[in-house]
Every structure is written in structure tokens, then in C-alpha cells.
Amino acid sequence: MNEKLRKILSVLPWVAASTAYASDSTYQVDEDAFWQQVYDSRTTYYEKNIGQFPDDILKMGNMTGVWPGGGLFVLQADKIGKGLWAYTTFGMTNPDMPANTMMADYKIETDGQGRASNYSGTLQNKEQAKSAEDSAGYGYEMLLIAKENADWPLWFMQWSANAEILNDAGILDRVEKHQGLTVQDIQVGENESVNVLIAKAQHPLPTGFILPNGKMELLIATVITDDEMQWSLENGREELLAKLLEFGDGQVSDRNRESVLR
């Protein structure tokens, strides 16, 4: 594991461990060739259109036994653009999703330096969320594309995974119904927060793929300014996305950029 990932793991509130993705899974992939076929197909798509995977996947402690084989990746998005980084869920479209279990009474302990040191909880059954018949799992993977290799995007990625898997947020349905979804003040650090616009990936980004188990959309979370957030509520998410594509960095996140409304 590289030092950057070690630093990330020491500060994020939910991440339990990092482990080689090729061998990581509580789900016995050797006993389910179809599950592996889906996993491999998704991997090939990412590596062709986004970039090569690192050796490590980031696992969320509160998803142990809930999201088998799933986790978060940080990869250089050189197929999208020079100097870009992609932060992505990987496994929302697994054949065993949506989840039918959840972790109850989850507790996390930290050491003297604030690093996660111990986890505990109990698996319990939960009602499985409904998804479209032609969708793979939840029907999407979530990405945030940034110009930096940092830890703040992973706070957002954890938020999105928790919202969907544990709280049945139905993010894809909301995006399709409202032509996008805006979320305000998502914590991305001890004293930091961002607003985001979540929308389907737009060209020239890769826009999705048909996996062996159904359709996979790519949803992109883009950091937006306070005035863009308010403007979208009055004028629509689709209109804000159009402005970002025309006047800004498109669906690439930069927390320091100027508003496209100025």
C-alpha cells in the first residue's frame, strides 16, 4: 500500500482496511463464475475508458458482509485527461446488489492518534431495495473526477455508498426524475464541506456500459459553488450542468474554481 493511501486510511471515519483488489472479497467468487464475469467486465471497461486500477481497494468497515467484494478505488484517470484522478465506487453493480443485510450497532474505536483500530457490529437482514429489471445491481457506479490526489473526495464517496446501500436513497431514480440531483454541505473533512451536483456522465466522459447482469450508468458528482447550488434550485439541475459544460470544467471537480455564473 502506498503512503498516500496509508494517510487516507488513518483519517477517514469509515474505512476499515485496504487490500489487493484482485483477491479481496468475502464473497466466494470461485463458486460463482457469473459474479466474477460481471466483475471482470466492469474492470475491463474502466481500464479502457478511465485508467488502470491500483493494487488496493478501500474497504468500508461498516460494509463488512453487507457489500461483498465492493469498495472504493482511487485511480489515475489518464484515459480521461492528463493529471486527473477518479474516485469511484466499485461494486454497486455487482449481481448480489442491492444489499439485503446491514450492520447494526456498528462501533469504531481509534488509537491515540485518531486512527481506526478496531471495529465491531452485528449483521442483520434488511428489506432489499427495488431496482429496474434491466439494471445491474443499483444500476450505477458513482465517480468524482478531480484535478488532485487528495483525501477529501473519499469522504464524499463514503457518504454516497452509505446513502444508497444503508439508507436506500435511490440516487439513480432521483437523478433520472429530476435531471440531476444537488446535495448541500456534505462533510469532506473535519471542518470542510462541499455542495455537489450528481448527474449522468456526459460526453466526452464514458457514459455507461451493459454488463452481463444489466445496464450500468456512470453518475458523476461535481463540486459546485454556493451560488450555483442556489441557482440550480431556481433554474434546474439540467440547466446548471449545461453551464458547467459550456463555461467551466465540465464534470471535473475543482473546489477552487470560480462560479460559472459570474
Instruction: Give the Å distances, CA to CA, from 246 to 88, 120, 260.
Output: 25, 48, 9
Residue 8 lies in a domain: yes
Task: Say which residues have a Cβ less than 8 Å from residue 130's Cβ, sequence separation at least 6.
Answer: 98
Q: Give the residues across from 109 on adjacent strands.
A: 118
The answer to the question of residue 250 being in a domain is: no
197 in any annotated domain: yes
Which pLDDT does position 123 carry in this prediction?
82
pLDDT in tens, the chain (262 residues): 444 443 444 445 555 444 444 444 444 545 579 999 999 999 999 999 999 999 888 988 888 889 988 999 999 999 999 999 999 999 999 999 999 998 777 666 666 655 555 666 778 898 999 888 899 999 999 999 999 999 999 999 999 999 999 999 999 999 999 999 999 999 999 899 999 999 999 999 999 999 999 999 999 999 999 999 999 999 999 999 999 999 989 999 999 999 999 7
Rounded Cα gap, residues 169 and 151, in angstroms: 24
Instruction: Say if CB 163 and CB 154 are below 8 A apart.
Output: no
The confidence score (pLDDT) of residue 64 equals 86
Q: Is residue 169 part of a domain?
A: yes
- Confidence at residue 248, expressed as pLDDT on a 0 to 100 scale: 81
Please state the domain count of the chain: 1
The answer as to whether 125 is a domain residue is yes
pLDDT of amino acid 9:
41
Axis-axis angle for helices 237-247, 226-235 (nearest 10): 130
The residue range of the domain holding 135 is: 3-222
Number of Cβ atoms within 10 Å of the Cβ of 150: 17
What global pTM score does this model have?
0.86
Tell whether 243 is covered by a domain: no
Q: What is the pLDDT of residue 32?
A: 78
Is there a domain that residue 97 lies in?
Answer: yes
Do 58 and 71 touch, CB atoms closer than 8 A?
yes
What is the largest distance, in Å, between two alpha-carbon atoms of the chain? Answer: 56
Position 230 in a domain: no
